[in-house]
Structure 1
Amino acid sequence: MTSPVHVTSEIGTLKTVLLKRPGKEVENLTPDIMGRLLFDDIPYLPEIQREHDFFAKTLQDNGVETIYLETLAAEALDAGNVKEEFLEKMLDESALVSSTLHAALKEYLLSMETQDMIDKIMAGVRTNEIDYKSNALVDLSSSEDYPFFMDPMPNLYFTRDPAASMGDGLTINRMTFAARRRESLFMEYIMEYHPRFANKGVNVWRSRNHLDRMEGGDELILNDHVLAIGISQRTSARSIEELAQVLFAKHSGFDKILAIKIPSNRAMMHLDTVFTMIDYDKFTIHPGIQDNGGNVDTFILEPGKDNHINISHRTDLQNVLREVLKVPELILIPVGNGDAVVAPREQWNDGSNTLAIAPNTVVTYNRNYVSNEVLRSYGIKVIEVISAELSRGRGGPRCMSMPIVREDLKK
């Protein structure tokens, strides 16, 4: 491995993973702004931090190095001497009502040490934190009772989505909703300026400066040749085709992409909320993405002549996976054992969102006890983590982790 980013499968032994410990941004949620910030409930900060620490310790106890987004971001800005440049970009993307507010926030945030500034940007800046008053018409017309000048970023502990490792590179994503769009700016600066990654041969296959949306929860690395990407609420078909064009043209090693169409709704926002790989020949699946015949619209993208992409359509997902993975049999394990009540309930709490840390070994939420027992019945080693507060954000162990390095699978 020459690149500090190296992920060629979903199930290779996990060596390094990027996390974000929930912070004040979670405590800055209120009932009035939950919808705006894509939350359905308000987690209890001390408990969600305890649960996240338990998750991180579980990974560490299994030989995984855990690195943290908030720490890397501050180190990157200091290493590149780009603190002010980064802040200007962050403010430009923060929907501020006027240039005078921009200037006031810039002065306030630049007065902090770099780590404190990063933590404050993530947590959000409340209107009572700075002495700012303006007679500008644009300021007077804005909502006087909205509590933030800069919105908090409570979704940051789902590190999977803003960027996703792919081979010796990654995608740095344009997020779908405004509430999350600023998140990928941290990864852009980490990759460009942090000594661990800068000038180390990391390929950015797709930057955040695109018009079409893509999020990491839809990006699955099936092996060193095949990707599966969800056509979902958060990732468009056009963005998948654009990524395929780049991967094929740059000889990334990936020569086949399965674009899997799933329902576009909150309960199934990403492919990995309904479908994850747990072994060479086993996947979890939420039955709700299949029709009565067990079919799922699947489009296979492959390189054609003269940079053209060949696209074929199939509906027999199980057979397609078996063929591209070259396994004699393939098992789709239904979340909640496929029960009409249990399956949607455990799916809502991310029963399908497993994090494989090695072949046949997954980390799951303990609350999904039916799904976990079903996995064990198939011989899967299941490591449970506590999840009462973490699950309120609508994301599971895979959502909360961005693998940076995995061991290659043995051929």
Structure 2
Amino acid sequence: MPPLRPHVTSEIGTLREVILHRPGLELRRLTPANKDLLLFDELVWVSKAQEEHDGFADLLRSQGVVVRLFSDLLNQTLDDDGVRLEIIGELATADTCGVELVDRVRGHLKDMPTAQLAEHLIGGLTVQEVPGAGEGFVGGVLGPAAFLVPPLPNAVFTRDPSAWVGTGVVLSPMHKPARTAERRLWRTIYQHHPDFASAQAGAGGPDPGDSGIHYGVSDRDYFPATLEGGDVLVLSADCVAIGLSERTHPIAVENLASQLFFAGAAKWVLAIDLPKARGTMHLDTIMTVVDRDAVVVWPRASRLVDAYRIEPGSDSR
């Protein structure tokens, strides 16, 4: 792969590189009983989804686009033993497994080959997949199909967990519990994968050690200041549009705007207040930038949304 030099200042420039996620184990985990909790309306025909996804990726490659797969990036990042232990410790905890099982689950994950570990961090891990886990209280009560590490079936929507603005990246503190672990995996890649770590050195926000991450790098619970990448549109080198949606909170927008101003990644932010409904979940569901001076917009948008201009204060924030 050529060295990474991320620099995103528009929605309509030539696409040179993209991260996709090929559907996999995580979508096979969907059942009629859990699909609503995992934010899916219907079950997915996984083999057909893989076929269609492969065709899309090949089409991009035929146009000269470098396609990086999320699972490959995670796999490469997990080659570092320290990183493996760190992310296993973050995703397999007493709160997800119980105090009796947590060490057993962590040990089982630690002993996996790297590719298998990456698959299960995205696809989840059940009681029956951990030897002996069903013999204790938690595993026995929950049953063999219960998850000790939750699956991430929404990982296919790679626009939401992060968004590049300028030479830095926004990590999304996701609104729905089913997606919160995605940010941890993306953060691990951006901070520890050799290509991203070197590309971002000195590129981003004001926090020490953020490696070019504008927002969302902390382990803290950001709620209610949640934000998702589908609400972030880079209109130009000077302006970023951010939707105030059912999943992106005004506090998050103000905080992100402050970070972008501080980093010199934007001169002003256009905050667009969307109806808080499933049909207008994200800004990119109602508008798409198609040229320097042209945007395709949902016809009812002008009657249903308000917009606010946010500019830096006297302290450049």
Question: Within 2, Cα distance between the matches of 1:175 and 1:237?
Answer: 14
Please state how far the C-alpha of 1:307 moved relative to its aligned partner. 4.1
Counterpart in the other structure of 2:274:
262
Normalising by structure 2, report the TM-score: 0.89
Higher relative contact order (CA 8 A, sep 6+): 1
The question of 1:222 aligning with 2:235 is answered yes
Question: Within 1, Cα distance between the matches of 2:263 and 2:228?
Answer: 21
Count of aligned pairs between the two proteins: 300
Please state how far the C-alpha of 1:4 moved relative to its aligned partner. 2.4
5 Å matches for 1:19-34? Answer: 19-34=20-35
The question of 1:105 aligning with 2:105 is answered yes
Secondary structure of the residue aligned to 1:149 is strand
Counterpart in the other structure of 2:59:
58
**Residue identity (%):** 33
Counterpart in the other structure of 2:191:
192
Question: Within 2, Cα distance between the matches of 1:45 and 1:278?
Answer: 31
Counterpart in the other structure of 2:117:
117
Further displaced range: 296-305 or 141-150: 141-150
Change (3 A) 1:30 1:246: same
Superposed CA RMSD in Å reads 2.1
Unaligned segments of structure 1, at least 5 residues = 309-411
Counterpart in the other structure of 2:216:
207
5 Å matches for 1:102-251? Answer: 102-130=102-130, 131-133=132-134, 135-136=136-137, 139=138, 143-144=142-143, 147-200=146-199, 201=201, 202=203, 203-209=212-218, 210-211=222-223, 212-251=225-264
The question of 1:273 aligning with 2:285 is answered yes
Please state how far the C-alpha of 1:148 moved relative to its aligned partner. 2.2
Unaligned segments of structure 2, at least 5 residues = 204-211
Higher alpha-carbon Rg: 1
Question: Within 2, Cα distance between the matches of 1:190 and 1:276?
Answer: 28
Counterpart in the other structure of 1:405:
none
State the AA in 1 paired with 2:250: A
Change (3 A) 1:284 1:132: same
Q: Contact (CA 8 Å) 2:97, 2:149: kept in 1 or not?
A: no
State the AA in 1 paired with 2:40: F
Identify, as 1 or 2, the structure richer in strand. Answer: 1
State the AA in 2 paired with 1:258: L
State the AA in 1 paired with 2:307: T
Secondary structure of the residue aligned to 1:287 is coil
Q: Contact (CA 8 Å) 1:192, 1:199: kept in 2 or not?
A: no
Q: Contact (CA 8 Å) 2:128, 2:134: kept in 1 or not?
A: no
State the AA in 2 paired with 1:126: T
The question of 1:300 aligning with 2:309 is answered yes
Q: Deviations for 1:91-133, whole angstroms, at most 9, x for unmatched residues? A: 13x9414122211211211111112101012111122212214
Question: Within 1, Cα distance between the matches of 2:45 and 2:25?
Answer: 11
Q: Deviations for 1:285-305, whole angstroms, at most 9, x for unmatched residues? A: 2224332xxx62001001232
Secondary structure of the residue aligned to 2:213 is strand
State the AA in 2 paired with 1:7: V
Question: Within 2, Cα distance between the matches of 1:121 and 1:245?
Answer: 33
Q: Contact (CA 8 Å) 2:246, 2:281: kept in 1 or not?
A: yes
Secondary structure of the residue aligned to 1:214 is coil
State the AA in 2 paired with 1:118: A
Question: Within 1, Cα distance between the matches of 2:164 and 2:237?
Answer: 12
Q: Deviations for 1:114-162, whole angstroms, at most 9, x for unmatched residues? A: 12101012111122212214555xx389644763222211100111111
Change (3 A) 1:23 1:298: same
Please state how far the C-alpha of 1:208 moved relative to its aligned partner. 4.2
Question: Within 2, Cα distance between the matches of 1:288 and 1:152?
Answer: 36
Question: Within 2, Cα distance between the matches of 1:3 and 1:56?
Answer: 19
Q: Deviations for 1:61-115, whole angstroms, at most 9, x for unmatched residues? A: 11111001111112112147421111101213x9414122211211211111112
Q: Contact (CA 8 Å) 2:134, 2:140: kept in 1 or not?
A: no
State the AA in 1 paired with 2:78: L
